[in-house]
């Protein structure tokens, strides 16, 4: 049976469960429960049983996972405790093919459709080059890449893209951030019985955007009569509706022109001046955080940068993340806001210390 995106996602969940040392020897019922929770799909016992067999024996996906069942503990485990389906070794001819494909893409990196993936292409080439120098054991010992965490809601990417392309309206069930843990909702459930903590929205989708390994859909919200942003990890179910699609002159480049991240006020942005220590400034010089960034002044110890953007949550978090290496110069109200946040943080710590005393 060919591997689909759904079966591949289940393999990832099953693999994570079997390797979880905090809850070893997961049984079939636990695997079913975890797959339903993580993937928002109604999954049968026979499906998981077939997945386990495919992971063990099938040439496609070709994991040949050493899955065993412990009759005493009534659960599954890997005979090789170091095994993971993510650790499958790549053959030399596969590396040749990857390198060849990546170098072809690199030739066309100037094209609009390929330009956005230039960094990923370079990353693939770097991995292949390093892999050729080192053995698999040395590679794992000497090189470590950042692995983004699994994010909920990625299964909605395809239907949302299709809706944007075909100009279709969607009804989404969106979970409020006031709810700490999303309740599992079957992908086959309808929105007639809205789950606790969720709201039903009619959305005319315009854009799918990624930020910090999270996906968001931006579109016209019929309830708010305005453009709104919804995180895919907070969407519990989605379905098309027959409402007429609201055409718009929405321009994603203009919409996010004066912001960092996903929050995008549409008013005129302020002129911001920030002073960095000379050492910390090098990070901004080598990797600017916004297209409006420019150096206004440079001394022996300090560098002053200018920005034309909205000081959203993401931007203020960026400032606070640089601790005592940064200082807001203007506007005055932004400086006051940062001071207020720092004072609230200090108050929390001093209050906890007084309780200890």
Q: What is the pLDDT of residues 145-203, one digit of tens each?
A: 565 555 667 778 888 888 988 899 999 988 876 654 444 443 333 344 455 567 889 99
**Which CA distances in Å does 22 have to 17, 34, 84?**
9, 14, 16
Q: Measure the CA–CA gap between 118 and 203, rounded to whole angstroms.
A: 32
Burial 320-356 (b: 16+ CB within 10 A, else e): eeeeeebbbbeeeebbeebeeeeeeeeeeeeeeeeee
* Cα–Cα nearest to 156, from 231, 245, 224: 231
Q: Is the dihedral of CA 71, 72, 78, 79 positive or negative?
A: negative
- Of the listed ranges 142-151, 307-316, 336-345, the one predicted with least confidence: 142-151
pTM for the full predicted model: 0.57
- Domain of 220 in residue numbering reads as 154-255
Domain match, 160 and 134 both? no
What CA–CA distance (Å, rounded) separates 67 from 83? 10
Domain membership flag for residue 80? yes
For range 28-35, the mean pLDDT: 90
Q: Looking at the structure, do residues 75 and 105 belong to the same domain, yes or no?
A: no
292 pLDDT above the threshold of 90: yes
In a domain, 357, yes or no: no
Assess whether 288 and 334 both reside in one domain.
yes
Please give the residue that has the higher pLDDT: either 81 or 104: 81
pLDDT of residue 158: 82
**Residue 298 falls within a domain, yes or no?**
yes
- 312 closest CA partner among 279, 329, 287, 290: 290
Query: Predicted confidence band at 84 (pLDDT cuts at 50, 70, 90)?
Result: confident
Q: Beta-strand (E) ranges in the chain?
A: 67-70, 75-78, 169-175, 198-211, 214-221, 226-231, 235-241, 271-277, 294-298, 302-308, 326-330
The whole-chain average pLDDT of the chain stands at: 80
Distance CA 262, CA 259 (A): 8
Which of the listed residues 224, 255, 286 is the one where a domain comes to its end? Answer: 255
Per the domain annotation, does 291 fall within a domain? yes
Contacts for 46 with CB less than 8 Å, ≥ 6 apart: none
Q: 217 - beta bridge partners?
A: 208, 230
Would 221 be classed as within a structural domain?
Answer: yes
State residue 186's pLDDT score.
39
Same domain, 70 and 106: no
* Percentage of the chain lying above the pLDDT 90 cut: 32
Residues 203 and 232 in one domain: yes
Neighbours of 82 (CB within 10 A): 7
Does residue 355 form part of some domain?
no
Q: Facing residues of 252 across strands?
A: none
74 shares its domain with 97: no
25-34, 126-135, 152-161: range with highest mean pLDDT: 25-34
Rounded CA separation 12/59 (Å): 17
Find the mean pLDDT for residues 258-275.
Answer: 90
Among the three residues 87, 103, 126, which one is the final residue of a domain in this structure? 87
User: Cβ–Cβ contacts within 10 Å for residue 298, how many?
Assistant: 13
Q: Are residues 66 and 96 in the same domain?
A: no
Does some domain include residue 246?
Answer: yes
The predicted pLDDT at position 308 comes to: 94
Specify the 3-state DSSP secondary structure of 127.
Answer: helix
CATH at 61: 1.10.10
Which of 14, 5, 56, 21 is CA-nearest to residue 36? 14
Shared domain for 77 and 22, answered yes or no, is yes
The answer to whether position 230 is within a domain reads yes
For the chain, how many structural domains are there in total? 4
Chain-centroid distance, C-alpha 96: 30
Please, which residues have CB within 8 angstroms of residue 201's CB and are 6 or more apart in sequence? 171, 172, 173, 174, 221, 222, 223, 228, 230
Domain boundary among 71, 87, 103: 87
pLDDT, position 99 = 59
286 and 236 belong to one structural domain: no
| pLDDT surpasses 90 at 218 | yes
Q: List pLDDT tens digits, range 223-241.
A: 888 899 998 888 888 899 9
Same domain, 325 and 338: yes
Same domain, 276 and 326: yes
> How far apart, in whole angstroms, are the C-alpha atoms of residue 188 and residue 204?
22
Q: Are residues 83 and 96 in the same domain?
A: no
CA distance 118 to 109: 6
Determine contact, residues 277/253, Cβ cutoff 8 Å: no
**Omega before 338 within 30 of 0, i.e. cis:** no
Identify the pLDDT of residue 179. Answer: 54
Helix axes 28-39, 45-57, angle to 10 degrees: 100
Distance, CA of 311 to CA of 261 (rounded, Å): 11
Instruction: In whole angstroms, give the CA distance from residue 112 to residue 333.
Output: 39
């Amino acid at each position: 049976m060919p591997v689909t995106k759904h079966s591949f996602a289940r393999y990832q969940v099953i693999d994570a469960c079997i390797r979880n040392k905090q809850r070893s020897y997961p049984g079939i019922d636990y695997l079913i429960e975890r797959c339903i929770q993580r993937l928002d799909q109604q999954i049968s016992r026979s499906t998981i049983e077939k997945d386990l067999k495919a992971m063990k024996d099938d040439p496609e996906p070709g994991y040949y996972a050493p899955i065993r069942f412990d009759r005493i503990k009534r659960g599954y485990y890997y005979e090789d405790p170091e095994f993971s389906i993510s650790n499958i070794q790549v053959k030399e001819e596969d590396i040749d093919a990857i390198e060849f494909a990546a170098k072809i893409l690199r030739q066309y990196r100037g094209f609009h459709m390929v330009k956005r993936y230039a960094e990923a292409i370079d990353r693939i080439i770097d991995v292949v080059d390093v892999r050729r120098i080192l053995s698999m054991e040395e590679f794992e010992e000497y090189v470590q890449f950042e692995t983004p965490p699994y994010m909920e809601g990625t299964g909605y990417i395809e239907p949302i893209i299709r809706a944007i392309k075909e100009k279709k309206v969607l009804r989404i069930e969106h979970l409020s951030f006031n709810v700490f843990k999303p309740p599992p909702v079957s992908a086959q459930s309808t929105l007639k019985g809205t789950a606790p903590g969720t709201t039903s929205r009619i959305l005319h989708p315009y854009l799918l955007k990624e930020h910090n390994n999270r996906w968001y859909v931006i579109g016209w919200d019929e309830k708010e009569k305005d453009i709104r942003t919804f995180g895919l990890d907070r969407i519990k179910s989605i379905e098309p509706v027959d409402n007429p699609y609201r055409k718009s002159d929405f321009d994603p480049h203009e919409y996010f022109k004066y912001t960092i991240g996903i929050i995008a006020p549409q008013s005129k942005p302020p002129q911001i001046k920030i002073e960095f220590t000379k050492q910390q400034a090098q990070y901004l010089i080598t990797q600017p955080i916004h297209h409006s960034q420019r150096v206004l002044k440079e001394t022996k110890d300090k560098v002053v940068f200018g920005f034309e953007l909205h000081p959203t949550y993401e931007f203020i978090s960026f400032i606070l993340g640089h601790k005592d290496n940064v200082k807001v110069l203007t506007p005055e109200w932004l400086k006051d806001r940062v001071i207020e946040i720092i004072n609230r943080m200090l108050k929390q710590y001093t209050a906890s210390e007084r309780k200890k005393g």
